[in-house]
Structure 1
Amino acid sequence: MGKKSNNILNKAVNSGFFRYALQQAAHILADYKNSQSLIDDVKFHLTDKKGKINEIKQEVLLLVEMVAAYAKGEYRDIPWSSIVMIVAGLIYFVSPIDVIPDFFPVAGLVDDISVILWVYHSLRHEIERYKDWKRNQKTTILEREE
């Protein structure tokens, strides 16, 4: 990331809105319907926006998948602080009002993308563990079908 991107990221993750998103994340995780609503919002946001969003679409979808598995009780092998950070990042991503409001074309997505990439890279180890778990689930399902 360039110096300008780091500056935007620092402003975003140190903003009052990101702190608010962290607080809201716990409430969202406590209620399956709220978790599902956030997941739906993120998916809509991905289809509604074009351009730069496509560059991080796979990362966002994997984070959404992790939240969905957690909310359903299927995958809980992740520290609470990590799943809260993921949810906070997704809240930030879908919110039109943050450090750079989304109604500014292109620039309004820079902070959203920066936060998602920061969350993704910060939790790289947790994400790899989730991917391994997911692969093992598919293997187990295939073995049961034989």
Structure 2
Amino acid sequence: MKLNREKILGFFKKSQSKASVILSDKTKASNTIKDALGKAVSNKGDLEGVWSKLVLLFAVSKDYVNGDYTEIPKRSIIAILGGLVYFLSPIDVIPDFVPVLGFVDDIYILNLVYRQVLKDLEKYKTWKDAQVKFIGNIDGPTAT
């Protein structure tokens, strides 16, 4: 099956425009992330190839919206949220209800977003790892 990349990218551009609007409302942004996460968990088997990338995209977008991590450029967070908006849409280039093929275009977009923001995600992972270590030091036993 050949993907119509231009059509997919056109849908994605619309998703990024929606993401830009959603991002201005913290509640809408949080709900979008939560809804996309629910859909991802429900379809984890179909998303196996991009699961770890998707988890990272969810984490950075959640931390951004919550105000915990704001070091990512706005264009990157809009691309990530745009990817999640695209993923959430049941009617895109290949509707999600089409057996086996329904998530092919979603996976294409999620991989595209991941590659676009990879450097920002690496910085985020470094920050997140430091947070985990810091919290572990606070909560862990102290040596005397």
Report the aligned-residue RMSD: 1.8
Q: Cα gap change, 1:75/1:37 in structure 2, threshold over 3 Å: closer, same or farther?
A: same
Identity %, equivalent residues: 36
Is 1:118 the counterpart of 2:123 in the alignment?
no
Q: Provide TM-score, normalisation by structure 2.
A: 0.88
Is 1:31 the counterpart of 2:25 in the alignment?
yes
Distance in 2, matches of 1:76 and 1:134, equals 12
Show structure 2 runs of 5+ residues with no match. Answer: none
Q: Provide TM-score, normalisation by structure 1.
A: 0.86
Residues 18-38 of structure 1: CA distance to partner in whole angstroms, max 9, x if unpaired?
Answer: 222111112221222111211
> Equivalent of 2:7, from 11, 14, 38?
11
Residues 41-95 of structure 1: CA distance to partner in whole angstroms, max 9, x if unpaired?
Answer: 1122112225331221221111011111000111011111000000000110111
Is 1:61 the counterpart of 2:61 in the alignment?
no
CA deviation after TM superposition for structure 1 residue 9, in Å: 4.1
> Equivalent of 1:107, from 101, 107, 131?
101
In structure 2, the residue matched to 1:43 is 37
Distance in 2, matches of 1:48 and 1:142, equals 31
Distance in 1, matches of 2:123 and 2:6, equals 27
Q: Conserved in 1, the CA contact under 8 Å of 2:90 and 2:96?
A: yes
Q: Conserved in 1, the CA contact under 8 Å of 2:18 and 2:82?
A: yes
> Equivalent of 2:85, from 78, 91, 96?
91
Q: Conserved in 2, the CA contact under 8 Å of 1:8 and 1:111?
A: no
Higher Rg? 2
In structure 2, the residue matched to 1:21 is 15
Number of corresponding residues: 140
CA deviation after TM superposition for structure 1 residue 10, in Å: 4.2
Q: Conserved in 1, the CA contact under 8 Å of 2:44 and 2:51?
A: no
* Aligned amino acid, residue 83 of structure 2: G
Greater shift, 94-103 or 68-77, is seen at 94-103
Distance in 2, matches of 1:8 and 1:86, equals 21
> Equivalent of 2:121, from 115, 120, 127?
127
